[in-house]
Structure 1
Amino acid sequence: MTTAPIRNQKLDLRLTPQAKAYLQAAAQTAHRSVSEFVLESALSKAEETLAERRAFALDAERWEAFSAALDAEPRDLPAVRELFNSDSPFESR
């Protein structure tokens, strides 16, 4: 038997009475507590949002252009070179 992770973190929300009633109705329809409904919904949206940043699809023509750009020799960008050679504002002088 697998042990469920201990949920010991709390997240507080401020919402309108209408939003709360809407979430309660949706949770009841899904046969979940409001906490379960909100957590599952938020995690699903977070997964979807983060997946968009990790994966993307390209057609064959764009894939070739993307691959060529990755394989190309780096361009000399004087402004970037100067930036990397300058002192960081976060380091003490």
Structure 2
Amino acid sequence: MSATTSARSARLGLRATPEQETVLRRAAEVAHKSLTDFVLDAACRAAEQTLLDQRLFMVSGSQYQALLEMMDRPESENPGLTDLFSRRPAWAKE
């Protein structure tokens, strides 16, 4: 996710230790990017990964097969859930 300088209108502020700033500046130089571009690119990659981690679950073939088998089994009675769903939720108006 990369944005051109002219398209940027939102301002973000952050504080870093001198050591963090040094590392970020060195890395930006090595990547031939401005500090802003480097930090934004890295932050956006991390943000996208965090969001994907909430939607994508990686499992082995055997784990996936076990899940399919569990989902194909007929449902069984669950007294705890029956009790839970029979109660009025705390947020419901009386």
Matching residue's letter, 1:52 = D
- Measured in 1, the distance between the counterparts of 2:91 and 2:27 equals 48
Structure 2-normalised TM-score? 0.72
What is the deviation of 1:91?
A: 2.2
- Tell me how large the CA RMSD over aligned residues is: 2.3
Task: Name the counterpart of 1:9.
Answer: 10
Task: Name the counterpart of 1:56.
Answer: 58
Given the alignment of the two structures, is residue 24 of structure 1 paired with residue 25 of structure 2, yes or no?
yes
Identity of aligned residues (%): 28
Between the two structures, name the one with larger relative contact order (CA 8 Å, sep ≥ 6).
2
Moved more, 45-54 or 31-40: 45-54
- Structure 2, unmatched stretches of 5+, are none
Matching residue's letter, 2:47 = A
- Measured in 1, the distance between the counterparts of 2:7 and 2:89 equals 42
Number of equivalenced pairs: 89
